[in-house]
Amino acid sequence: MTEREPAASDFRVGSELVVRAIPGVPTVESGDDLSEIVVAAFDHAGIDLRDGDVIVLASKVVSRAEGCFVDLAKVAPDGRARALAEEVDKDPRLIELILRESLGISRKTKGALIVRHRLGFVSANAGIDASNAAPGNAPPDSGPWVLTLPQDPDASAAALRDTLGAQYSANIAVVITDSWGRPFRRGTVGFALGVAGLPAVWDRRGASDRHGRVLESTESAVADSIAAAADLVAGQADESRPLTLVRGLQFPRSLESSKALLRNPEDDLYA
């Protein structure tokens, strides 16, 4: 299958989007087949996927399916992790794990280490999740358990997109999301961690407005906006709503991944 890079004119936005949380996703365990779980949930909801549907999945269930559980009792912090842990007042074993997951430290403060994750984005504590993070088969005397982000969320999104797209014979997209804080603003919003099947960034630079004036800055972070919209219905504490359908976009096939959303550190005024 040859896929082409999309042209700006290929990406149309309908006048109405429906953002629907799909119930029926069980607590996912290591080794579970996510595409089977997603298909079962859509079947149960009586939904047939069709062209233009975007399947949004919280990274947590992807991490669980991929077995990204870590028993902190088995993590041995080194000297640097111990010193940092004291500085930011966190568990040195967690700090060790955050450092292993990261390319470097961006900022530090009481309670949080802001890092550039090995996947390239910047977030607090490398996105490591400590709530509901134990595997179902955890021995009673084990833990505390935490959950790291998926190894390669773009690849996970692409695999899911290929399987679901074939199953429904539809041009769908998959966005794997997490929600983090941001510089300058309070509160978390959803971000696209893995993207497959749609342009993550909609580049309209060079298009002209209605007066023929060339638009200056019109790269729209479509996949992040989709993640933010899904976050409104998905909730974060409730594991039963990690699956969201966003229906109403029209997009071309695209090979663009979530990497398109990352600023190069050398272009980043806040790096």
Instruction: Scan residues 220-249 and list those touching its own copies (CB under 8 A).
Output: 220-222, 224-226, 228-229, 231-233, 235-239, 241, 248-249
Cβ neighbours of residue 51 under 8 Å, at least 6 residues apart?
170, 171, 172
Cβ neighbours of residue 20 under 8 Å, at least 6 residues apart?
233, 244, 245, 247
Under the binding rule (CB under 8 A), the answer on residue 143 touching its own copies is no
The residue from 24, 67, 143, 181 that contacts its own copies (CB under 8 A) is: 181
Q: In the structure encoding, which two tokens stand for residue 49, read together?
A: 């996927």
Nearer Cβ to its own copies (1/269)? 269
Nearer Cβ to its own copies (34/246)? 246
Instruction: Output the smallest distance, CB 220 to its own copies, in A.
Output: 6
Residue list 196-225, contact with its own copies (CB under 8 A): 200-202, 204, 207-211, 213, 215-222, 224-225
Cβ neighbours of residue 121 under 8 Å, at least 6 residues apart?
191, 193, 261, 262
Q: In the structure encoding, which two tokens stand for residue 202, read together?
A: 């909609």
Residue list 93-132, contact with its own copies (CB under 8 A): 107, 109, 114, 121-122, 124, 130-132
Q: In the structure encoding, which two tokens stand for residue 236, read together?
A: 């974060």
Under the binding rule (CB under 8 A), the answer on residue 142 touching its own copies is no
Q: In the structure encoding, which two tokens stand for residue 17, read together?
A: 């989007």
